């Protein structure tokens, strides 16, 4: 991705952050045949850097996000610990809820947008919000994920 692409993604992430009323946003894309994810945006780059990659969470998260292409809302330490291999970093930064929204290209999930909540609460109607986030992503930076 180019510097211009990075700026477009950052603008899109800021729109998502505002729409989701969340504290932070990360955007990750699948890599290595779908076994890993790498961040292309992070509003917390010192905590969640945009270099390197991490394993794709397995189990129900993978089924929900990657296979079914449906959003997932995880609330509380127990849910976060059970889902994310990097839960220690997540919880150490006072993140108490995460809304994961699949990034879909055609019929394939290519990544996820992650709305991170520290001081705010996620909305009750997260399914509608996820649709709005996908619309924002498509309208603002969707062409970047078509490559």
CATH number (domain holding residue 17): 3.30.450.40
Averaged over successive runs of 10 residues, the pLDDT of the chain (147 residues) comes to 80 92 94 90 94 88 94 96 94 97 89 94 90 83 60
Q: What's the CA gap between 83 and 73, in Å, rounded? A: 11
Q: What's the CA gap between 122 and 40, in Å, rounded? A: 23
Total domain count, the chain: 1
Among residues 26, 37, 40, 97, which one has the least CA distance to residue 66?
A: 37
pLDDT at res. 58 = 84
Q: What's the CA gap between 81 and 56, in Å, rounded? A: 14
- Give me the sign of the Cα torsion angle 111, 113, 118, 120: negative
Give the domain extent around 35: 3-145
pLDDT at res. 147 = 47
């Amino acid at each position: 991705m180019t510097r211009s692409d990075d700026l477009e993604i950052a603008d899109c992430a800021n729109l998502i952050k505002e729409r989701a009323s969340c504290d932070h946003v990360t955007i990750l894309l699948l890599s290595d045949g779908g076994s890993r994810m790498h961040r292309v945006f992070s509003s917390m780059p010192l905590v969640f850097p945009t270099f390197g990659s991490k394993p794709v969470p397995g189990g129900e998260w993978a089924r929900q996000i990657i296979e079914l292409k449906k959003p997932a809302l995880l609330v509380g330490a127990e849910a976060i610990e059970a889902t994310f291999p990097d839960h220690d970093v997540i919880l150490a930064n006072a993140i108490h809820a995460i809304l994961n929204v699949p990034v879909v290209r055609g019929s394939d999930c290519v990544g996820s947008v992650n709305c991170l909540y520290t001081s705010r609460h996620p909305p009750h109607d997260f399914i509608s919000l996820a649709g709005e986030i996908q619309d924002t992503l498509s309208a603002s930076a969707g062409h970047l994920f078509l490559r």
